[in-house]
Amino acid sequence: MKKSIFPILAILLLMACDLSTSIIPTESPDDLAATVNSIMTEFPTIESLATKQPTSRPTSQPTLLAPIPSIQISNSGTVESTISGGTQIVKVTPSLTPTITPTFIPDDPRNTLGPYSWIDTYTNGNNWPQGSNDFTSVVFEDGKMKLSALTDQDGWRLTYPTLTNFYLEANVQTSECEKSDHFGIIFRVPDIKAANQGYFYGIQCDGKYFLKVFAENLMTSIVYAKANSAILTDQNAVNRLGIMAEQDQLTLYINGVKVNQITDTHFLSGGFGIFVGSDETKNLTVSVDEIAYWSLP
Protein backbone atom coordinates (compact mmCIF):
# COMPACT_ATOMS: atom_id res chain seq x y z
CA MET A 1 0.00 0.00 0.00
CA LYS A 2 1.10 3.55 -0.67
CA LYS A 3 1.84 5.96 2.12
CA SER A 4 -0.34 9.06 2.33
CA ILE A 5 1.64 12.05 3.62
CA PHE A 6 -0.06 15.33 4.50
CA PRO A 7 1.48 18.52 5.88
CA ILE A 8 1.14 18.87 9.65
CA LEU A 9 -0.86 22.05 9.20
CA ALA A 10 -3.41 20.25 6.99
CA ILE A 11 -3.81 17.50 9.55
CA LEU A 12 -4.41 20.01 12.36
CA LEU A 13 -7.04 21.77 10.29
CA LEU A 14 -8.77 18.53 9.39
CA MET A 15 -8.92 17.37 13.01
CA ALA A 16 -11.71 19.84 13.57
CA CYS A 17 -13.75 18.63 10.60
CA ASP A 18 -17.04 16.80 10.72
CA LEU A 19 -17.08 14.22 7.98
CA SER A 20 -20.55 12.74 8.24
CA THR A 21 -23.84 14.41 7.45
CA SER A 22 -27.06 14.14 5.53
CA ILE A 23 -29.57 16.24 3.62
CA ILE A 24 -33.05 15.91 2.23
CA PRO A 25 -32.60 15.95 -1.54
CA THR A 26 -35.32 18.01 -3.18
CA GLU A 27 -35.85 20.09 -6.27
CA SER A 28 -37.60 22.85 -4.30
CA PRO A 29 -35.67 25.23 -2.06
CA ASP A 30 -38.82 25.84 -0.02
CA ASP A 31 -39.01 22.18 0.95
CA LEU A 32 -35.32 21.78 1.64
CA ALA A 33 -34.08 21.86 5.21
CA ALA A 34 -30.35 21.22 5.14
CA THR A 35 -29.32 19.26 8.17
CA VAL A 36 -25.84 18.61 9.45
CA ASN A 37 -24.78 16.03 12.02
CA SER A 38 -23.14 16.98 15.25
CA ILE A 39 -19.40 17.42 14.86
CA MET A 40 -17.38 14.28 15.47
CA THR A 41 -15.38 14.66 18.63
CA GLU A 42 -12.43 12.77 17.22
CA PHE A 43 -11.06 12.91 13.70
CA PRO A 44 -10.25 9.49 12.24
CA THR A 45 -6.65 8.46 12.64
CA ILE A 46 -4.71 9.25 9.46
CA GLU A 47 -3.27 5.93 8.50
CA SER A 48 -1.88 5.14 5.07
CA LEU A 49 -3.39 2.27 3.15
CA ALA A 50 -1.82 1.52 0.09
CA THR A 51 -6.89 -3.88 -5.04
CA LYS A 52 -21.21 -27.80 -31.00
CA GLN A 53 -23.09 -29.53 -32.87
CA PRO A 54 -22.09 -33.14 -31.99
CA THR A 55 -20.33 -35.00 -34.79
CA SER A 56 -20.35 -38.74 -35.42
CA ARG A 57 -18.11 -40.98 -37.46
CA PRO A 58 -19.79 -43.31 -39.96
CA THR A 59 -19.33 -46.95 -38.96
CA SER A 60 -20.43 -50.33 -40.23
CA GLN A 61 -23.81 -51.60 -39.10
CA PRO A 62 -23.51 -53.97 -36.10
CA THR A 63 -24.99 -57.47 -36.45
CA LEU A 64 -28.27 -58.36 -34.81
CA LEU A 65 -26.47 -60.76 -32.48
CA ALA A 66 -24.15 -58.05 -31.14
CA PRO A 67 -24.21 -57.57 -27.34
CA ILE A 68 -25.87 -54.54 -25.76
CA PRO A 69 -23.68 -51.51 -26.54
CA SER A 70 -21.44 -50.21 -23.73
CA ILE A 71 -21.18 -46.47 -23.15
CA GLN A 72 -17.92 -44.67 -22.40
CA ILE A 73 -17.83 -40.99 -21.57
CA SER A 74 -14.74 -38.90 -22.20
CA ASN A 75 -14.05 -35.19 -21.85
CA SER A 76 -13.35 -34.54 -25.51
CA GLY A 77 -16.64 -32.77 -26.12
CA THR A 78 -17.59 -35.13 -29.01
CA VAL A 79 -19.81 -38.14 -29.67
CA GLU A 80 -18.16 -41.10 -31.40
CA SER A 81 -19.43 -44.54 -32.34
CA THR A 82 -17.14 -47.46 -33.23
CA ILE A 83 -17.42 -51.27 -33.53
CA SER A 84 -15.00 -53.48 -31.63
CA GLY A 85 -15.42 -57.27 -31.43
CA GLY A 86 -19.07 -57.06 -32.41
CA THR A 87 -19.76 -54.48 -29.68
CA GLN A 88 -20.84 -50.96 -30.49
CA ILE A 89 -18.84 -48.54 -28.35
CA VAL A 90 -20.24 -45.04 -28.04
CA LYS A 91 -18.17 -42.25 -26.50
CA VAL A 92 -20.35 -39.42 -25.28
CA THR A 93 -19.31 -36.21 -23.60
CA PRO A 94 -21.65 -33.34 -22.76
CA SER A 95 -20.43 -29.90 -23.73
CA LEU A 96 -18.46 -28.15 -21.03
CA THR A 97 -19.53 -24.73 -19.78
CA PRO A 98 -17.40 -22.18 -21.66
CA THR A 99 -14.90 -20.17 -19.67
CA ILE A 100 -15.84 -16.49 -19.52
CA THR A 101 -12.94 -14.13 -20.00
CA PRO A 102 -13.46 -10.61 -18.65
CA THR A 103 -13.72 -8.04 -21.40
CA PHE A 104 -10.78 -5.66 -21.58
CA ILE A 105 -12.01 -2.08 -21.93
CA PRO A 106 -9.26 0.03 -23.54
CA ASP A 107 -10.69 3.34 -22.31
CA ASP A 108 -11.10 2.20 -18.70
CA PRO A 109 -9.07 4.76 -16.71
CA ARG A 110 -7.91 2.03 -14.35
CA ASN A 111 -6.07 0.46 -17.30
CA THR A 112 -4.46 3.67 -18.52
CA LEU A 113 -3.54 5.85 -15.53
CA GLY A 114 -0.90 3.66 -13.93
CA PRO A 115 -0.51 3.23 -10.15
CA TYR A 116 -3.11 4.89 -7.94
CA SER A 117 -2.23 7.85 -5.74
CA TRP A 118 -4.26 6.65 -2.74
CA ILE A 119 -6.36 3.63 -1.90
CA ASP A 120 -8.42 2.36 1.02
CA THR A 121 -9.20 -1.36 1.09
CA TYR A 122 -10.90 -1.14 4.50
CA THR A 123 -8.53 -3.26 6.51
CA ASN A 124 -9.81 -0.96 9.25
CA GLY A 125 -12.03 2.11 9.46
CA ASN A 126 -9.40 4.62 10.55
CA ASN A 127 -9.97 6.89 7.54
CA TRP A 128 -13.69 7.34 8.19
CA PRO A 129 -16.10 8.53 10.89
CA GLN A 130 -17.50 5.50 12.67
CA GLY A 131 -20.68 4.60 14.54
CA SER A 132 -24.19 5.96 13.99
CA ASN A 133 -25.83 9.36 13.63
CA ASP A 134 -29.36 10.48 12.82
CA PHE A 135 -29.09 9.46 9.18
CA THR A 136 -26.65 6.59 8.74
CA SER A 137 -24.80 3.87 10.54
CA VAL A 138 -21.50 2.36 9.49
CA VAL A 139 -19.53 -0.72 10.44
CA PHE A 140 -16.21 -2.03 9.16
CA GLU A 141 -15.87 -5.78 8.83
CA ASP A 142 -14.60 -8.42 6.41
CA GLY A 143 -12.57 -5.81 4.55
CA LYS A 144 -15.63 -3.68 3.79
CA MET A 145 -17.31 -0.49 4.87
CA LYS A 146 -21.02 -1.20 5.31
CA LEU A 147 -23.07 2.00 5.20
CA SER A 148 -26.79 1.87 6.05
CA ALA A 149 -29.52 4.47 5.57
CA LEU A 150 -31.54 5.01 8.76
CA THR A 151 -34.11 7.39 7.22
CA ASP A 152 -35.56 8.23 3.82
CA GLN A 153 -33.04 11.06 3.52
CA ASP A 154 -29.70 10.71 1.78
CA GLY A 155 -26.77 10.29 4.15
CA TRP A 156 -23.03 10.03 3.64
CA ARG A 157 -19.59 9.64 5.14
CA LEU A 158 -16.53 11.56 3.99
CA THR A 159 -12.84 10.79 4.25
CA TYR A 160 -10.06 13.33 4.55
CA PRO A 161 -8.17 13.88 1.23
CA THR A 162 -9.12 17.03 -0.70
CA LEU A 163 -8.85 16.68 -4.49
CA THR A 164 -8.83 19.03 -7.49
CA ASN A 165 -8.13 17.14 -10.72
CA PHE A 166 -8.48 13.39 -10.33
CA TYR A 167 -9.99 10.07 -11.30
CA LEU A 168 -11.88 8.54 -8.37
CA GLU A 169 -13.61 5.16 -8.24
CA ALA A 170 -15.26 2.87 -5.71
CA ASN A 171 -16.55 -0.71 -5.73
CA VAL A 172 -20.07 -0.66 -4.28
CA GLN A 173 -22.25 -3.71 -3.61
CA THR A 174 -25.90 -3.97 -2.60
CA SER A 175 -27.99 -6.90 -1.42
CA GLU A 176 -31.65 -5.94 -0.96
CA CYS A 177 -32.23 -3.03 -3.31
CA GLU A 178 -35.35 -1.87 -5.15
CA LYS A 179 -36.34 0.60 -7.86
CA SER A 180 -35.17 4.12 -7.00
CA ASP A 181 -33.02 3.13 -4.00
CA HIS A 182 -29.67 4.71 -4.79
CA PHE A 183 -26.04 5.06 -3.75
CA GLY A 184 -22.75 6.35 -5.05
CA ILE A 185 -19.88 8.82 -4.69
CA ILE A 186 -20.12 12.32 -3.25
CA PHE A 187 -17.20 14.46 -4.43
CA ARG A 188 -15.80 17.99 -4.58
CA VAL A 189 -17.35 18.83 -1.23
CA PRO A 190 -15.91 22.34 -0.66
CA ASP A 191 -16.42 22.41 3.11
CA ILE A 192 -15.90 18.98 4.67
CA LYS A 193 -16.85 20.32 8.10
CA ALA A 194 -20.33 21.42 7.08
CA ALA A 195 -20.48 18.77 4.31
CA ASN A 196 -23.62 20.38 2.89
CA GLN A 197 -22.50 21.03 -0.70
CA GLY A 198 -20.98 18.99 -3.50
CA TYR A 199 -21.69 16.62 -6.38
CA PHE A 200 -23.59 13.35 -6.07
CA TYR A 201 -22.81 10.72 -8.71
CA GLY A 202 -24.81 7.56 -8.21
CA ILE A 203 -26.85 4.70 -9.61
CA GLN A 204 -30.34 3.48 -8.84
CA CYS A 205 -31.28 -0.13 -8.30
CA ASP A 206 -33.46 -0.07 -11.42
CA GLY A 207 -30.35 0.31 -13.61
CA LYS A 208 -30.18 4.09 -13.99
CA TYR A 209 -27.41 6.55 -13.17
CA PHE A 210 -27.58 10.25 -12.28
CA LEU A 211 -25.49 13.29 -11.39
CA LYS A 212 -26.70 16.03 -9.04
CA VAL A 213 -25.18 19.09 -7.45
CA PHE A 214 -26.14 20.47 -4.04
CA ALA A 215 -25.41 24.18 -3.79
CA GLU A 216 -27.04 27.17 -2.14
CA ASN A 217 -29.54 24.95 -0.31
CA LEU A 218 -30.82 23.44 -3.53
CA MET A 219 -30.29 19.96 -4.99
CA THR A 220 -30.27 20.21 -8.79
CA SER A 221 -30.12 17.41 -11.36
CA ILE A 222 -27.32 17.79 -13.90
CA VAL A 223 -27.92 14.37 -15.45
CA TYR A 224 -31.42 13.05 -14.81
CA ALA A 225 -31.77 9.34 -14.02
CA LYS A 226 -30.85 7.54 -17.22
CA ALA A 227 -30.71 3.80 -17.96
CA ASN A 228 -27.44 2.23 -19.07
CA SER A 229 -26.57 -1.40 -19.80
CA ALA A 230 -23.21 -1.07 -18.03
CA ILE A 231 -25.02 -1.08 -14.66
CA LEU A 232 -25.31 -4.49 -12.98
CA THR A 233 -28.68 -4.95 -11.29
CA ASP A 234 -28.52 -8.54 -10.02
CA GLN A 235 -28.80 -9.14 -6.30
CA ASN A 236 -25.41 -8.69 -4.63
CA ALA A 237 -24.02 -7.12 -7.81
CA VAL A 238 -20.85 -5.06 -7.44
CA ASN A 239 -20.68 -1.88 -9.52
CA ARG A 240 -17.47 0.08 -9.98
CA LEU A 241 -18.36 3.76 -10.14
CA GLY A 242 -15.76 6.15 -11.54
CA ILE A 243 -15.59 9.91 -11.92
CA MET A 244 -12.92 11.79 -13.90
CA ALA A 245 -12.79 15.44 -12.82
CA GLU A 246 -10.55 17.80 -14.81
CA GLN A 247 -11.25 21.47 -14.12
CA ASP A 248 -14.93 21.93 -15.09
CA GLN A 249 -15.16 18.73 -17.12
CA LEU A 250 -16.76 15.71 -15.42
CA THR A 251 -16.66 12.29 -17.10
CA LEU A 252 -18.75 9.45 -15.66
CA TYR A 253 -17.78 5.77 -15.77
CA ILE A 254 -19.58 2.59 -14.75
CA ASN A 255 -17.59 -0.64 -14.60
CA GLY A 256 -14.94 0.94 -16.80
CA VAL A 257 -17.42 2.10 -19.46
CA LYS A 258 -17.70 5.82 -20.19
CA VAL A 259 -21.39 6.71 -19.92
CA ASN A 260 -21.43 10.52 -20.01
CA GLN A 261 -19.37 13.69 -20.04
CA ILE A 262 -20.58 17.10 -18.95
CA THR A 263 -19.27 20.53 -18.03
CA ASP A 264 -20.16 22.18 -14.73
CA THR A 265 -18.50 24.99 -12.78
CA HIS A 266 -20.15 24.80 -9.36
CA PHE A 267 -17.17 23.30 -7.53
CA LEU A 268 -13.60 22.71 -8.69
CA SER A 269 -12.13 20.94 -5.65
CA GLY A 270 -13.11 19.36 -2.34
CA GLY A 271 -13.47 16.22 -0.28
CA PHE A 272 -15.16 12.95 -1.20
CA GLY A 273 -16.97 9.95 0.24
CA ILE A 274 -19.86 7.49 -0.14
CA PHE A 275 -23.58 8.22 0.07
CA VAL A 276 -26.70 6.07 0.30
CA GLY A 277 -30.39 6.90 -0.20
CA SER A 278 -33.31 4.66 0.76
CA ASP A 279 -36.53 5.24 -1.19
CA GLU A 280 -37.92 1.70 -1.14
CA THR A 281 -35.83 -0.51 1.16
CA LYS A 282 -35.73 0.05 4.90
CA ASN A 283 -32.18 0.34 6.21
CA LEU A 284 -30.73 0.06 2.72
CA THR A 285 -27.10 -1.03 3.10
CA VAL A 286 -24.23 -0.75 0.66
CA SER A 287 -20.81 -2.36 1.05
CA VAL A 288 -17.61 -0.82 -0.28
CA ASP A 289 -14.46 -2.94 -0.42
CA GLU A 290 -12.23 -0.43 -2.20
CA ILE A 291 -12.08 3.27 -2.97
CA ALA A 292 -9.10 4.84 -4.73
CA TYR A 293 -8.05 7.92 -6.64
CA TRP A 294 -5.45 8.90 -9.20
CA SER A 295 -4.21 12.51 -9.09
CA LEU A 296 -4.20 14.25 -12.48
CA PRO A 297 -1.95 17.14 -13.59
Task: Summarize pLDDT for 70-114 with one digit per residue, the tens.
Answer: 434 344 455 555 565 565 655 555 555 444 445 678 889 999 999
Domain that holds residue 197: 8-51+101-295
Between 82 and 9, residue with greater pLDDT: 82
Give Dmax over CA atoms of the chain in angstroms. 96
Say if residue 227 is in the same domain as residue 270: yes
Which tens digit of pLDDT belongs to each residue from 136-154?
999 999 999 999 999 998 9
215 and 42 in contact (C-beta within 8 Å)?
Answer: no
Say if residue 70 is in the same domain as residue 209: no
Span 169-179, average pLDDT: 92
Say if residue 220 is in the same domain as residue 73: no
DSSP run (H or E) holding 258: strand 257-263
Between 244 and 81, residue with greater pLDDT: 244
Question: 2-6, 34-38, 157-161 — which is least confidently predicted?
Answer: 34-38
pLDDT of residue 44: 38
Say if residue 274 is in the same domain as residue 250: yes
pLDDT of residue 31: 40
Spatial distance between the Cα atoms of 135 and 263, rounded to a whole number of angstroms: 31
Say if residue 208 is in the same domain as residue 138: yes
Q: List Cα–Cα distances, 27 to 30, 37, 217, 218, 220, in angstroms.
A: 9, 22, 10, 7, 6
Say if residue 127 is in the same domain as residue 78: no
pLDDT at 49 exceeding the cut of 90: no
Q: Which amino acid is located at 78 in the chain?
A: T
pLDDT of residue 46: 29
Question: 81-95, 183-197, 201-215 — which is least confidently predicted?
Answer: 81-95
The per-residue b/e assignment along 35-46, b for 16 or more CB within 10 angstroms, e otherwise, is: eebeebeebbeb
Of 100-104, 127-131, 264-268, where does the model show the most confidence? 264-268
Which tens digit of pLDDT belongs to each residue from 52-61?
333 333 344 4
Tally the domains of the chain. Answer: 2
Say if residue 67 is in the same domain as residue 127: no
pLDDT at 66 exceeding the cut of 80: no
Task: Decide if 2 is inside a domain.
Answer: no
Say if residue 176 is in the same domain as residue 255: yes
Between 266 and 87, residue with greater pLDDT: 266
pLDDT of residue 83: 62
Domain-terminating residue out of 43, 66, 94:
94
pLDDT of residue 245: 98
Domain-terminating residue out of 29, 62, 94:
94
Say if residue 118 is in the same domain as residue 89: no
pLDDT of residue 50: 31
DSSP run (H or E) holding 246: strand 238-246
Q: How confident is the model at residue 235 (pLDDT cuts 50, 70, 90)?
A: confident
